[in-house]
A and B are shown apart, each in its own frame.
Chain A
């Protein structure tokens, strides 16, 4: 089942923080996060494996709570370059052969 992302859209000024959530109705073994800028391909940000370890990428970090079956992406002191659509992806099946993606959260950062 497709993970649910919230919010659908976020509007920020440079320097502000944001949190994007990704929830699933089934047990999660890993969560992926990708960012896609308008007219471009999605780009891998990070993957979180079962175990709850928080990962980081520049000023972007994420957590994974397998008990709550959710992950959160934290964008700190946002920059103009953070604008884009963020997707979370979770494993389609226990074999872990493919992902199913959420519908995305659009982040707009202005100066």
Chain B
């Protein structure tokens, strides 16, 4: 199994608070992705990174920011969480983008009250 660790695995927080989710990989893969998964919507791309300090937006990036200061870590931050951001968040990694498999972490279940 690909070495991907997401933390925390579960979090409950209140509207308006900042939240940071962490994705850590031990595969030295160049590409890292953050998705959210909601019923009826499948997997939607939030942001992704194609190298240290190189990031780009996905389809649902509003309200989220990311940072990647080391190859192994990719952080997703909700600056001021809203109830609409309640979701399951998955991190994924890939050796070389869309033409190589993506391997997913176990997910973070985030509830914003």
Residue numbers of A with Cβ under 8 A of B are 2, 29-30, 32, 34, 40-44, 47, 49, 87, 89, 91-92, 95-104
Distance A34 CA – B43 CA, assembled complex (angstroms): 11
Q: For the complex, count residues of B whose C-beta is within 8 A of A.
A: 26
Q: Is the CB of B45 within 8 A of A92?
A: yes
Check B106 for interface membership: any CB of A closer than 8 A: yes
Please judge, given known A-B contacts A98-B45, A98-B58, whether A42 and B101 are in contact too, CB under 8 Å: no
Q: Is the CB of B97 within 8 A of A98?
A: yes
Q: B47: shortest Cβ distance to chain A, in Å? A: 10
Give chain A residues whose Cβ lies under 8 Å from the Cβ of B104: 41-43
Distance A32 CA – B50 CA, assembled complex (angstroms): 19
Q: Which of B44, B48, B59 contacts A97 (CB 8 A)?
A: B48
Q: Is the CB of B40 within 8 A of A41?
A: no
Q: List 28 A-B contacts (CB under 8 A).
A: A30-B99, A32-B98, A32-B101, A32-B102, A34-B102, A41-B104, A41-B106, A42-B43, A44-B102, A44-B103, A47-B99, A49-B99, A87-B42, A91-B98, A91-B99, A92-B45, A97-B98, A98-B33, A98-B45, A98-B56, A98-B58, A98-B97, A99-B102, A100-B59, A101-B43, A101-B44, A101-B45, A103-B41
